[in-house]
Chains A and B, each alone.
Chain A
């Protein structure tokens, strides 16, 4: 059969080109794979969910609690179908797996990017893949956000209202953009079909295309080699081939990973639609976005109120907090490869402690996001008496500057410590070597 296929599909060429691709043997190189497996699990569970989901926000009678004929209990069809999915065998589990995997995909991609950043793997020739990775991160977050809206419970409704408000806060064109994106004035008759189209067609299509490009470029450029490869065989590719060595490792990882997700989903509920109930006028107390958008939420909570009019366009705290600040943060991340001026191609992953400025800047940037994420808990901090309404903004703003600065210098100190340890080790070794001779 092999020969039959080979004569038609030139499998041997595929084998030489792709299936023999060498994978570096180091656990940190699995992070990207975990992201990829998450995407696959998301697409599979998403297809299953889409089979039972009704993308409509028209009101239907709640079949679980129909009310009376005079006063029927009407709920949005999308919410009703979410209840029905929960009532299916393993339906709730399916929703939880989808939701947990989405969280883990973003987490894995963030840690994957941290690995790339701290080992300098974004350097020439891999700048393009860093940028594609950034786009993947942004579109993954957008996909997650649109997914939030689909159950159309009270949580989704409130989230959507804020998203609509943020889109509408863009100066000059905001109202038009928001209406075009969400099918008319909030909550628009067609808003769920519109968001459904984004979540199951447009955004996954973009994600798949970008993932394909990301991986093709990775295969073409090869992985950065881990440091040990330099000692084993300088300037040679060291690793295990995709077929047949890496594949079982990958499969093992997939199953272990899928198992962990199923365990999570079995015991930790996420987004219980029954708890939130259908859309109502009652706000949800302490409503918050997921952890990866909490920093934007935090900025919105601590930004002071202001309004600026320029040529009839309104620039307010909502636009600055939810669009301008995140855009600047993302631009800073996009700019990372451009800060490196080396003309040489990078072969080997760098030791982060050899680049203390880059390490410190990365840690400081992450600490800034952590501080802003903590600021997302401002209402709780005030309720708990840790901060007061009067001082919360001041304290959190000071922390936004102080914590990143302190962590930068702390990193420099730690790096210095590590280096002096390493140097004393080298001295010892040299001394012993001399003694041996």
Chain B
């Protein structure tokens, strides 16, 4: 054993290389994190991405009639898909289809068929009812059932809803019913009177949905 430990005043080559490699790894790691940060772009809440708002007119979403206001006479027990159309910042019409989850399903049933727990005050005469058309399970567009008239079925994982009873889940994996959209008749147009009554897809907690509503209101104010 040596009695004296060799004191090397200079940086040894090995130490220098280790230091350099460590620094490179650290800088590289940090820059990688910043790259990952940019992977997730900032969300800008533009008017076309806002949810259906009070005063929005419901317009057809189907390809050939897109943008035309939905008329009461066009509605029946077959699902009619609609977008909410609101005003842009300069007062022009904006169809809120920037967020595909804004899609709305409208049904018209003979009076008396729409029953609780549907909010009847949010329907038109207890005849016309509107729901979010996005399945609460995996976010697919819900369609008419192919086996039962007046029922809804999601083509993706066969979630089923009953549009006469607040679109509650009657089959399949969806965790909750479709959110009801309160509507009223103004002239010939179907007009939204408030936010969705329940949280729509993709929200999973009331808190998230409430804070999103607040964000929308703040931006509009």
Contact string against A for B residues 29-64, beta-carbon threshold 8 Å, 1 for contact and 0 otherwise: 000000010011101000001000000000001110
Q: Is the CB of B173 within 8 A of A304?
A: yes
- Interchain CA distance A241-B41 in the complex, whole Å: 54
A370 to chain B, nearest CB (A): 19
Pick the residue among B36, B63, B172 that contacts A180 (CB under 8 A): B36
Distance of A176 Cα from B40 Cα, bound (Å): 8
Which residues 384-401 of A have a CB within 8 angstroms of B? 389
Q: Which of B140, B157, B172, B205 has the most CB of A within 10 A?
A: B157
76-112 of chain B: CB within 8 A of chain A: 81, 83, 99-100, 103
In the bound complex, CA of A305 to CA of B180 (Å): 20
Q: Does B22 contact A (CB under 8 A)?
A: no
Chain B residues within an 8 Å CB radius of A304: 173
Across the two chains, which residue of chain B brings its CB closest to A277? B63
Q: A317 CA to B136 CA in the complex, in Å?
A: 11
List the B side residues contacting A162 at CB < 8 Å.
138-140, 156
Q: Mark B142-178, 1 if CB is under 8 A from A, else 0.
A: 1100110000011111101000000001111111100
B113 at the interface (CB under 8 A from A): no
Total interface residues on B, CB under 8 Å, equals: 42
Q: Are B158 and A301 in contact (CB under 8 A)?
A: yes
CB distance from A434 to the nearest CB of B (A): 66
For A383, the chain B residues whose CB sits under 8 A away are 146-147
**A323 CB, nearest partner CB in chain B, Å:** 12
Q: Report whether A317 and B140 are in contact in the complex, using a CB–CB cutoff of 8 Å.
A: no
State whether the Cβ of A316 lies closer than 8 Å to any Cβ in chain B: yes
Q: Which of A175, A176, A282, A321 contacts B173 (CB 8 A)?
A: A321
Task: Pick from A282, A301, A302, A305: contact of B141, CB below 8 A.
Answer: A282
In the complex, A179→B43 CA distance in Å?
10
Nearest CB in chain A to that of B145: its residue = A389
In-complex Cβ contact of A186 among B40, B41, B100 (8 A)? B100
Give the segment of A213-221, A242-250, A283-291, A334-342 that binds chain B.
A283-291
- Closest beta carbon of chain B to A90's beta carbon, Å: 31
B138 interface neighbour in A187, A300, A382, Cβ under 8 Å: A300
- B52 nearest CB across to chain A (Å): 14
CB distance from A172 to the nearest CB of B (A): 11
User: Which chain B residues in 172-206 approach chain A with CB under 8 Å?
Assistant: 172-176, 202, 204-205
A190 at interface, CB cutoff 8 A: yes
Question: Which listed residue, A190, A282, A301, touches B81 by the CB 8 Å rule?
Answer: A282
* In the complex, chain A residues 298-353 whose Cβ is within 8 Å of any chain B Cβ: 300-307, 314, 316-318, 321-322
A280 at the interface (CB under 8 A from B): yes
Interface-centre pick from B99, B100, B138, B153 (highest chain A CB count, 10 A): B138
CA distance in complex: A166, B138 (Å): 7
Bound Cα distance A433, B36 (Å) = 74
- The reply to whether A317 and B100 contact each other, CB–CB distance below 8 Å, is no
On chain A, the residues within 8 Å of B146 by CB distance are 285, 379, 383
B173 close to A318 (CB less than 8 A): yes
| Residue A132 lies at the interface, judged by CB distance under 8 Å to chain B | no
Contacts A285-B155, A300-B157 given; does A306 touch B175 at CB 8 Å: yes
B137 part of interface (Cβ distance < 8 Å):
yes
Find B174's partner among A190, A282, A302, A305 (CB 8 Å cutoff): A305
Could you tell me which B residues sit within 8 Å of A by CB distance? 36, 39-41, 43, 49, 61-63, 81, 83, 99-100, 103, 133, 137-143, 146-147, 153-158, 160, 169-176, 202, 204-205
Counting from the closest, the 7 A-B pairs by CB-CB distance are A180-B40, A283-B141, A165-B139, A165-B138, A184-B41, A281-B61, A180-B39
17 contacts between A and B (CB under 8 A): A162-B138, A166-B138, A189-B41, A280-B62, A281-B61, A281-B141, A283-B140, A283-B155, A287-B155, A300-B137, A305-B137, A307-B204, A314-B204, A317-B173, A379-B146, A382-B147, A383-B146
With A301-B173, A379-B146, A379-B153 already in contact, 15 other A-B pairs whose C-beta atoms are closer than 8 Å: A158-B140, A161-B139, A162-B140, A164-B139, A181-B39, A187-B100, A190-B41, A282-B81, A285-B146, A287-B140, A300-B157, A301-B172, A314-B204, A317-B137, A389-B171
